[in-house]
Amino acid sequence: MRDGFGEVIEKLRRSTVQVKAGRHSGGSGVVWSPDGQIVTNAHVVEGAATAEVELWDGGRFAARIGKKDRRRDLALLEVDVSGLTAAASGDSNALRVGELVIAVGNPMGFIGAASTGVVHRVEYRSWVVSRLRLAPGNSGGPLANARGEVVGINTMIAGGLAFAIPSKSVAQFLRTPLDDSGLGVVVRPMQAGLLVLEVIRTRPPIAPRCCRAIFWWARSGSDSSLSRTSAARFTLAEGAFSNFNSAAARARTSAR
């Protein structure tokens, strides 16, 4: 049993890469196909036009950012390499509370580190939540079941729990054409909720009748060691942007 579990983790390590982009210290990624498709978090490559990936055996390759979805916090990287060790994709909808899960990544500079935990709850359209230890550098790495099938992409820690994007959402991201227009909302977590600090246009033009909004938030403290883009979404009616931006300005002034 011990040897079998070690083999599962070793296979996961071989399909996990280290991602470096721009000034960011780096994160992790998952080889999704042998022909060079790698999935990571959008915030890992935020602000970068290209990235570099390092494989488990030390091989380094330049990567293109094929597409990015800030709402889901997912990005697709592409490298001109074939024969990569791809991860096996699992069904996140089949997870059950209490089930064993494994996270692999590159936290704090430790390459291919693994940790285990159990599923705390499953929010099928948004999150796989686990009692699992993660740290900066785990972002974009795989969350797998006991068979080594990837059921999520690790994204953040909040309230002592690990949050991962379900594999079903990853599959949808990969097969759906990307429409990245919308609004970005910078908020600050507070005890009573979220304080809106700023509203940002993410890409013109804004949709004529309504527009999606993205919450950008970063928490600090012992219960939240990873900064990330959340998947919270809502719609703003046409013409509400100026009123919402004015409210944001008042919130910034009162917060100073």
How far apart are alpha carbons 217 and 227 in whole angstroms? Answer: 7
Question: Is 139 labeled as catalytic in the residue annotation?
Answer: yes
Compute the CA torsion angle 175, 156, 51, 197 (nearest 10 deg).
100
Q: Using alpha carbons, select from 119, 127, 121, 129 the residue that is nearest to residue 98.
A: 119
CB burial readout 197-224, b (16+ within 10 A) else e: bebeebeeebeeeebbbbbbbebeeeeb
43 is known as an active-site residue: yes
Alpha-carbon distance 246 to 37, whole Å? 42
Q: How far apart are CA 84 and CA 100, in angstroms?
A: 27
Q: Which of 15, 28, 69, 73 is catalytic?
A: 73
Residue among 43, 169, 224, 225 flagged as catalytic: 43
Q: Which of 15, 89, 130, 139 is catalytic?
A: 139
Known catalytic residues are 43, 73, 139
